[in-house]
Amino acid sequence: MLELNLKPLRPYLTAGLMAIAATAAVLPVTPVWAQTRTLPDFTDLVDQVGPSVVNIRTLEKVKASAAGNIDEQMLEFFKRFGIPVPPNAPRAPRPDDPSQPDEDQPRGVGSGFILTTDGYVMTNAHVVEGADEVIVTLTDKREFKAKIIGADKRSDVAVVKIEATGLPAVKIGDISRLKVGEWVMAIGSPFGLENTVTAGIVSAKQRDTGDYLPFIQTDVAINPGNSGGPLINMRGEVVGINSQIYSRSGGFQGISFSIPIDEAIRVSEQLRISGKVTRGRIGVQIDQVTKEVAESIGLGKSQGALVRGVESGAPADKAGIEAGDIIVKFEGKAIDKASDLPRMVGNVKPGTKVTVTVFRRGATKDLAVTIAEVEADKPARKASQSESRPPVAGPAQALGLAVSDITDAQKKELNIKGGVKVDAVDGAAARAG
């Protein structure tokens, strides 16, 4: 039996422990809170970017209504209760009476930021939509009547112009460098409170909310009036335009959405040149590729855009794209999810020939498609059932199946309790066998 004798080691152990204790006594002790990373200081950023942020007030013209005038509702009240109308009582003007003067009424409040030193200002389209007059107020309290250069509803980006020079323009950031967890700051006019500063972190990138553009999601406090203001990184660069919030109460609840600045700049450049945005289209109705669809056709993973329908005579139709195809690449760039495709196509100049890669019958195929232009304020025509390439519609038909309920007699005959009857097989299901 091996016996370990520690007695000879005790003097050395004692001396060693005393040396360690003596060393520890002279070492500085750092509190735990001091070892953690300190919170960022936003004061320099506010000084740097604050002068570039503006308050935007919008006005609308309405027909003046003099005090004491009797309107149609008041007359109806008198008639209903048999009250005599006061003699010589003035009647309120009708809203469509051209002889009555207009008066300006406040319509809304928003934010914006100076894009160029010569007075171009970026904001949200919904901030200036329907406005008869736009008033831009700088941080030095100067006010300017602004001209709406253009507004794009689909991206919710607008550009207005004020007559001024030597203005402090913002610096534009690189959205590809923005990371989840990074600190960001917002400056705006929530509820009309000008130059309000809030801060938080980036919660997610490329957040798909069903809108045309993906959003930057943050927990920065954004409220009504912040719309159109900048989202700023710690380098003092604008990385987004504050646009939406998720809320059940109408107020901030910790989830805010900002338009990526690269997408906004792309839109603003077209607005400044022509006052409108020209987008491309190929004429397909698409849906997300589910895991079940991907497995049924041997795609491997759920990626790309499932073509549910093709518009007759559209570029996709002419190129040979069919309902049931999976568009997996656009100009060599992989499509991760269906919502990526409209943006990719939309960013291409109409008339441009592009390569669209589809997955069909277990193999990929490259097709040449000439991009058409999206008609302004006109929705794309839907493919009809009478066309040569009918749309695949309905939950069951996402796999290319046409189904119907099984009758009680059929259940008894087949000795089954439930299920559906497959009436026809097409598209993805047919290719899967």
The secondary structure of 122-142, three-state, reads EECHHHHCCCCEEEEECCCCC
Q: How far apart are CA 381 and CA 326, in angstroms?
A: 21
Average pLDDT over residues 118-128: 97
Say which amino acid occupies 117: T
Query: 68-116 pLDDT, tens per residue?
Result: 565 666 667 666 767 776 666 665 555 555 666 667 778 889 999 999 9
- 260: which DSSP letter? E
Looking at per-residue pLDDT, the higher value among 284 and 100 belongs to 284
Q: Which fold has domain 171-274?
A: Thrombin, subunit H (2.40.10)
Q: Specify the CATH number of the domain 280-373.
A: 2.30.42.10
Q: How far apart are CA 337 and CA 355, in angstroms?
A: 18
Query: Which neighbouring-strand residues pair with 353?
Result: 370
Looking at per-residue pLDDT, the higher value among 279 and 419 belongs to 279
- Asked if pLDDT for residue 261 goes beyond 50, the answer is yes
Q: How far apart are CA 394 and CA 391, in angstroms?
A: 10
On the question of a common fold for 54-161 and 280-373, the answer reads no
- Asked if pLDDT for residue 432 goes beyond 80, the answer is no
What pLDDT, on a 0 to 100 scale, did the predictor assign at position 96? Answer: 58
Indicate if the alpha-carbon torsion angle 345, 347, 353, 359 is positive or negative. negative
Q: Which fold has domain 54-161?
A: Thrombin, subunit H (2.40.10)
For 11-20, 41-50, 59-68, 413-422, which range has the lowest pLDDT when averaged over its residues? 11-20
| Beta strand ranges found along 189-319 (DSSP E) | 196-207, 215-218, 230-233, 237-245, 256-260, 280-281, 284-288, 305-310
**φ, ψ for residue 317, nearest 5 deg:** -65, -45
For 227-231, 318-322, 407-411, which range has the lowest pLDDT when averaged over its residues? 407-411
Got the DSSP string for 296-311? Answer: HHT-SSS-SEEEEEE-
So which residues are the catalytic ones?
126, 156, 227
Q: How far apart are CA 415 and CA 262, in angstroms?
A: 61
Residue 313: which pLDDT band, with cuts at 50, 70 and 90? very high
- The 10 Å Cβ neighbour count of residue 73 is 8
Average pLDDT over residues 119-129: 97
Q: What residue segments make up the domains of the chain, in order of their start?
A: 54-161, 171-274, 280-373, 397-432
Which of 157-171, 291-305, 329-343 has the highest average model confidence (pLDDT)?
157-171
- The helix (run of H) or strand (run of E) holding residue 369 is strand 363-370
Evaluate whether 294 touches 335 at the Cβ level (below 8 Å): no
Q: How far apart are CA 356 and CA 376, in angstroms?
A: 24
**φ, ψ for residue 77, nearest 5 deg:** -65, -45
- Asked if pLDDT for residue 257 goes beyond 70, the answer is yes
Q: What percentage of the chain exceeds 90 in pLDDT? A: 57
Query: Which neighbouring-strand residues pair with 120?
Result: 161
